[in-house]
Structure 1
Amino acid sequence: FCRVDPYGFERPDDFDYASYEAFFSRYLVVLTRRAIKWSKLLKGKNSIQKSLKVKRYIRKGIPNEHRALIWMIVSGAQANMEQNPGYYHRLLEGEKNDKLVEAIKTDMNRTFPDNVKFRKTADPCLQHTLYNVLVAYGHHNKAVGYCQGMNFIAGYLILITKNEEESFWLLDALIGRILPDYYSPAMMGLKTDQEVLGELVKMKVPAVAELMERHGVMWTLVVSRWFICLFIDILPVETVLRIWDCLFYEGSKIIFRVALTLIKQHQAFILEATNFPDICDKFKQITKGTFVTECHSFMQKIFTEPGSLSMATIDKLRETCREKLLSQG
């Protein structure tokens, strides 16, 4: 294994090559098997209908060569792109908001400094592509404009699709539909969902909820980046992509499944914490190690470990948490 992973990210100095190699040789068998199944499913066509079989296949991972296509179809981004030909390019050619452009430019060098494809020396340098996608999106969705976190998400989309326009429409699917109100100036959707997670933890891992309450640790302190960055830079790349496979098909409840699995699986470890900084540190630790690196077994866990979790439950909790937040002003 070389120092740079297949997506262009440099592996950290303390990267455990031996255990990763052991995992990857096992995972390669899974990938090969899935690739054959997906080829049969697609039969060389560039289309797919949503079905229980497709949902099952997606939960088991989309092969990288089909990932962009499947994300585009199941998220609705493909249909939107086809219904709006030339729209993306018109956004880029139109008049620009200087403040928006400045904010995006400022974040360019901060986006994946550890990825060789985003370096100024890279050819082609993906910073230019990223800049275009974010500027176009900021002018498309003026209510959101641009906020930090969107750069990482758009960056991942570009690494997978290798296509500017597709990345734009996938970003639109995520921000406009899948994660409603996460990135608007008040970030109401994001704040609400962090509270919803707190309520779900009370129901499913009460001892951890009690610990947090006892030490006065707000959920936003330990999980806000899980939500804002959709686990980018928190979990390993391959694991993040597997989570996104399901996110595009099944929507935002996947984020809760992942969060609950991380917390439930490491409950005993978290409960060892005796003070505020200790709790925050434990939450950083639970996103590392073999449990999260082994993406295939991790993804199986997220559908079993948290138990049943319906969209109806989440919607109800969202309603009460939102009202509570609004009443607090």
Structure 2
Amino acid sequence: MDRRRDAPAPDGTGSSLSRSPRQRGSSSGHGGAKDRVERGERPCSPPLKGKADALSVSSFPFSGSDYPVTVDPYGFERPEDFDFETYEQLMSEYLVVLTRRAIKWSKLLKGKNKVDKNNKMKRYVRKGVPNEHRTLVWMSASGAQQQLDRNPGYYQSVLGAQHDPKLVDTIRTDLNRTFPENVLFRKSSSTCLQKELYNVLVAFGHHSPSVGYCQGMNFIAGLLLIITRDEEKSFWLMETLLGRILPDYYSPSMLGLKTDQEVLGELVRERVPGVSGVMAEHGVMWSLVVSRWFICLYIDVLPVETVLRIWDCLFYEGSKILFRVALTIIHQHQAAMEEEARSLPDVCQSFKRMTLGPFVEDCHPFMQKIFTEPGSLSMATIAKLRATCRARILAEGS
């Protein structure tokens, strides 16, 4: 895989990665969400409106007069055929959960600037972190805050150092390609985050010259900025993600990414054997169908609210969360895949459909399932499988 290009899309073609991570929900006037899913299209992500706004708007980047009807709470434009009624139904129960969790989190974090690592906190994180507390929780749980505190002024110093012209040009090229449907990344916007995005990517590229920059990183940095609105904190969260939680995902060899794709293959063989059999029968490599899942950390794969719930757990529990999500999605569609997949293109189409529809849109029950459906999955198990798969990849490449 060329790390300077987008990861392969589930259909085997290059992904534009220019779509927002907000894409979900349903459409009206064009056959509805179900028809679009059946055609293999991703419905657009529904934003909050009406009662939803009243309950949770303060938690999001847009509020009050800054929250236009045509834009969702994270800055992504709503489609013209957006189905408000369907989304209101979807959100009616989830908003009750959000409100209840927000009250509990406020009590839990009152007077605190960090989170503990214990079973109670893990339970809270798994049930969702309110947006107003996400930056604190992500920074504290991941160790990024500790890194920032240990290195005061480091971000500014690396940002102010002499920059590699080639790195700068590559990053500048991708700025306008980052979430083009999000008003927060448009030059015409008074709240444009392109400068902050540029700074984070340039600083990270010089901080980690062995990684530098490759496409996909801009979307990770972009979503971090949407949540934190702080480029220094976004830098340290990115450093934690790519340096500790997911090492070698973006290195020139992309060995970490390749390894984890094979690890997923081993887990599927053990836990979802029907899908593994279909993959083997048609000679489908895991890199063909799940590269984007991992390299983009589910951005532009799952709805934005679901992605953020996944990231809550990713920062708190580590990379095993990526496997839990993948296994849950695959397990949910095992029967359909066994019945419908008759060729390699069929398999690829099945993987495209897996990330569409109500199962991944309704993020609260989805997140509950990722901790039950795959069964027990420890970091020790992941580490053992990684060692085996990495050795195999290196042997094949020698």
What band does the TM-score fall into relative to the shorter chain? over 0.9
The aligned counterpart of 2:379 is: 311
CA distance, structure 2, for counterparts of residue 103 and residue 308 of structure 1: 42
The aligned counterpart of 1:242 is: 309
The aligned counterpart of 2:96 is: 29
Residue 183 of structure 1 pairs with residue 250 of structure 2: yes
Residue 11 of structure 1 pairs with residue 62 of structure 2: no
- When residues 5 and 69 of structure 1 are mapped into structure 2, their CA distance, relative to the original with a 3 A threshold, is same
Residue 38 of structure 1 pairs with residue 105 of structure 2: yes
CA distance, structure 1, for counterparts of residue 350 and residue 124 of structure 2: 33
Deviation at 1:48, TM superposition (A): 2.4
Residue 145 of structure 1 pairs with residue 212 of structure 2: yes
CA distance, structure 2, for counterparts of residue 307 and residue 152 of structure 1: 31
TM-score by length of 1: 0.98
TM-score by length of 2: 0.81
The aligned counterpart of 2:360 is: 292
> Which of 42, 47, 55 does residue 122 from structure 2 map onto?
55
Q: List alignment gaps of at least 5 residues for structure 1.
A: none
Q: Name the aligned partner's letter for residue 255 of structure 1.
A: L
The aligned counterpart of 1:279 is: 347
Deviation at 1:17, TM superposition (A): 3.1
Deviation at 1:274, TM superposition (A): 1.1
Describe the SS at the equivalent of 1:244. Answer: helix
Deviation at 1:235, TM superposition (A): 0.4
Q: Mean alpha-carbon deviation: is it higher for 34-43 or for 236-245?
A: 34-43
Runs (4 or more) in structure 1 with deviation over 6 Å come to: none
- When residues 71 and 93 of structure 1 are mapped into structure 2, their CA distance, relative to the original with a 3 A threshold, is same
- State the structure with bigger RCO (CA 8 A, min sep 6), 1 or 2: 2
- Higher helix proportion (structure 1 or 2): 1
Deviations 1:30-78 (A, max 9, x none): 0111011111111132222221111110000000000011100000000
Q: Mean alpha-carbon deviation: is it higher for 10-19 or for 160-169?
A: 10-19
CA distance, structure 2, for counterparts of residue 28 and residue 110 of structure 1: 32
Q: Name the aligned partner's letter for residue 133 of structure 2.
A: H
Deviation at 1:124, TM superposition (A): 2.4
Over aligned residue pairs, what C-alpha RMSD do you find? Answer: 1.1
Deviation at 1:180, TM superposition (A): 1.2
Superposed counterparts of 1:1-329, under 5 Å: 1=49, 2-13=69-80, 15-271=82-338, 272-329=340-397
Q: List alignment gaps of at least 5 residues for structure 2.
A: 1-48, 50-68
CA distance, structure 2, for counterparts of residue 16 and residue 190 of structure 1: 37
Deviations 1:215-247 (A, max 9, x none): 111111110000000000110000000000000
Identity fraction in percent:
69
The aligned counterpart of 2:53 is: none
CA distance, structure 2, for counterparts of residue 182 and residue 39 of structure 1: 35
CA distance, structure 2, for counterparts of residue 205 and residue 84 of structure 1: 45
Aligned length: 329
Deviation at 1:183, TM superposition (A): 0.5
Deviation at 1:13, TM superposition (A): 4.8
CA distance, structure 2, for counterparts of residue 277 and residue 15 of structure 1: 30
CA distance, structure 1, for counterparts of residue 239 and residue 283 of structure 2: 36
CA distance, structure 1, for counterparts of residue 266 and residue 199 of structure 2: 39
- When residues 88 and 279 of structure 1 are mapped into structure 2, their CA distance, relative to the original with a 3 A threshold, is same
CA distance, structure 1, for counterparts of residue 80 and residue 292 of structure 2: 23
Q: Mean alpha-carbon deviation: is it higher for 312-321 or for 45-54?
A: 45-54
CA distance, structure 2, for counterparts of residue 48 and residue 302 of structure 1: 23
Q: Mean alpha-carbon deviation: is it higher for 120-129 or for 183-192?
A: 120-129
